[in-house]
A = this chain, B = another copy of it.
Amino acid sequence: MTLTTPAPARGAVPAAPAVRNLSAPATARLLGDWRAAGPAYLTLADALRSAVLSGTVAPLTRLPSERDLATALGVSRTTTAAAYARLRDLGFAVSRVGSGTVAVLPRGSATVRGVQRPALPAGDAPAADAPGLDGPLDLGDPLDLGQATPSATPALHAAFSRALEALPAYLGTGGYAHHGIDPLRAAVADRYTARGVPTTPDQVLVTTGAQQAIALLATTFVGRGETAVVESPTYFHAVDALRRTGARVVGVPAGDVETLASAVRRTRPRLVYLVPDFHNPTGRSLTAQERAFVRGVADRYGVTVVGDETLTDLALDDDAAVPAAFAGDGASPRVVSVGSASKAFWGGLRVGWVRAPEHVVQRLARTRQSVDISTAVLEQLAVVELLSRRDEILPARLADLRTRRDLLVAGVRAAVPDWDVPSPGGGLCLWVGLGRPVAQALAAAAVAEGVHVTAGPVFTPDGASRDRVRLTFTRTTAELEDAVGRLARAWRRVLG
């Protein structure tokens, strides 16, 4: 590794435009608590690299000057210069003469968590002049243990064929159903009723996936400067959606309902977001007693509690039944449930739903008209079909996921005995304890070995969980086996 600032000709990419400037204070904020054991420049470089990999820092972002970043972070300029040099060496940054350092993705890491490597503008310097873009990493597509969506159920194609048969009844209309088409609202309501929560179609809003449901709830219930309480760690796009409303997001330890209650008492939030079943990422489920306790908190403090049941169908242990509905048989007016077709059937289906009191459904439906008008009709018809065949479809899917989970758990336990690898009762991921706060370094080293994992801090509102990574088990068994070896090598890189 070189600690010298490269000569102007090196790493210069004359025609690559930086598209966005990241200020030093903003960089400091997004890095959060980046310090860990080891030399500061290495830790800083790893944190920056992780931010680029996760998409937190977009490719082609111009990073702050070495001097400004040093001031903002309270480190020496030598440290920031060395960190930037290391980023360049690894292919995660290039320098432009006279205009600083620009974040890029290394050539070959074409798509990482959906963040595409920017195409080089026409007239760009050839590779020989831009070693930063043609550096030591040339990976092909990394094995993705980051994305938590399995491939489609084999039943999907037939469901769409059936949906297509039902479509003509809708083609004479304008195609807008702001609350969702009647058969889907009824099917979703019936499913809640069957799970012990009497529900009418009027209490169901169809959304364009669960993420839209969460975003609608965030914008509808939480205003700028108001508070939302989430578990920490938690599903990170929920935190994003809440932060985008200008909310203050307060984290409480995942699954700790007593602390949750005291946070509600203390901060008087407008909304609590939690994942009651096969929690993302910890895998834990709330007990019946804990659920009842949370519903009591909702009622006592008049706070809306959103239970994200996206993963609820994915009970993997043989003895695990589908969990009881979070809303409870009393169907507290303060408890809102979110569900989705993405995990049981396919992520490429963009259909989710909210179960809530009717007046909440009406409010959300008004908001959603300025968001995306309504959800695609054929998608909804396909989900009606899939839900009606749920009991035929799910067992094979669960068996498949169970095999993958068991393979990854056993493989990682054997390959890296240092790690704590709990086997979750359901869901799609392992929440692996590393025993030391090096998650970002591991995520970066894993990319160098051709596998993508997600560092723990991504899942926490405050950058904690630096001793954890999340590994999803949605890829094929062959890919998972391959990934295990790469993870072990990445760990040796980190230790070395």
Q: Which residues in A have some Cβ–Cβ distance to B below 8 Å?
A: 17, 19-20, 55, 58-60, 114-116, 118-119, 147-152, 156-157, 160-161, 164, 167-168, 170-179, 200, 202, 208-209, 211-212, 215, 219, 224, 237, 240-241, 244, 246, 342, 346-351, 357-359, 362-363, 365-367, 369-379, 382, 474
Is the beta-carbon distance between B151 and A171 smaller than 8 angstroms? yes
Is the beta-carbon distance between A376 and B359 smaller than 8 angstroms? no
Q: Which residues of B contact A149 (CB under 8 A)?
A: 174-176
Q: Please report the C-alpha to C-alpha distance between residue A370 and residue B211 in the assembled complex, in whole angstroms.
A: 7
Q: Which of B114, B224, B370 interacts with A240 by CB under 8 Å? A: B370
Q: Which residues of B contact A209 (CB under 8 A)?
A: 372-373
Within the oligomer, what is the number of copies of this chain? 2
Q: Which residues of B contact A219 (CB under 8 A)?
A: 244
Closest 6 CB pairs of A and B: A175-B348, A19-B359, A149-B174, A175-B347, A240-B370, A348-B377
Q: Which residues of B contact A357 (CB under 8 A)?
A: 19
Q: Which residues of B contact A151 (CB under 8 A)?
A: 171-175
Q: Please report the C-alpha to C-alpha distance between residue A369 and residue B152 in the assembled complex, in whole angstroms.
A: 20
Is the beta-carbon distance between B114 and A362 smaller than 8 angstroms? no
Is the beta-carbon distance between B58 and A366 smaller than 8 angstroms? yes
Q: Which residues of B contact A350 (CB under 8 A)?
A: 208, 372-376
Is the beta-carbon distance between B118 and A147 smaller than 8 angstroms? no
Q: Which of B174, B178, B363 interacts with A20 by CB under 8 Å? A: B363
Q: List 28 A-B contacts (CB under 8 A).
A: A20-B359, A114-B177, A114-B178, A114-B369, A150-B174, A151-B173, A151-B174, A152-B170, A152-B172, A157-B164, A160-B167, A160-B378, A175-B342, A175-B347, A175-B348, A211-B370, A211-B371, A212-B371, A215-B370, A215-B372, A219-B244, A240-B369, A348-B376, A348-B377, A350-B374, A350-B375, A350-B376, A351-B376
Q: Which of B17, B348, B378 interacts with A173 by CB under 8 Å? A: B348
Q: A350's closest neighbor in chain B, by CB? A: B376
Is the beta-carbon distance between A157 and B147 smaller than 8 angstroms? no
Is the beta-carbon distance between A118 and B371 smaller than 8 angstroms? no
Is the beta-carbon distance between A215 and B371 smaller than 8 angstroms? yes
Main SS class of interface, A: loop
Given contacts A147-B176, A215-B372, 4 further A-B contacts (CB under 8 A): A19-B359, A149-B174, A175-B342, A350-B375
Q: Which residues of B contact A363 (CB under 8 A)?
A: 19-20, 58
Is the beta-carbon distance between B161 and A164 smaller than 8 angstroms? yes
Knowing A149-B175, A164-B164, say if A372 contacts B370 (CB, 8 Å).
Answer: no
Is the beta-carbon distance between A366 and B55 smaller than 8 angstroms? yes
Is the beta-carbon distance between A241 and B174 smaller than 8 angstroms? no
CB distance from A158 to the nearest CB of B (A): 10
Knowing A156-B171, A224-B246, A348-B176, say if A372 contacts B211 (CB, 8 Å).
Answer: yes
Q: Please report the C-alpha to C-alpha distance between residue A359 and residue B59 in the assembled complex, in whole angstroms.
A: 9
Residue among A209, A244, A365 with most chain B CB within 10 A: A209
Q: Please report the C-alpha to C-alpha distance between residue A178 and residue B347 in the assembled complex, in whole angstroms.
A: 12
Q: Which residues of B contact A366 (CB under 8 A)?
A: 55, 58, 115
Q: Which residues of B contact A59 (CB under 8 A)?
A: 362
Is the beta-carbon distance between B119 and A358 smaller than 8 angstroms? yes
Knowing A200-B119, A208-B350, A348-B377, say if A362 contacts B176 (CB, 8 Å).
Answer: no
Q: Which residues of B contact A148 (CB under 8 A)?
A: 174
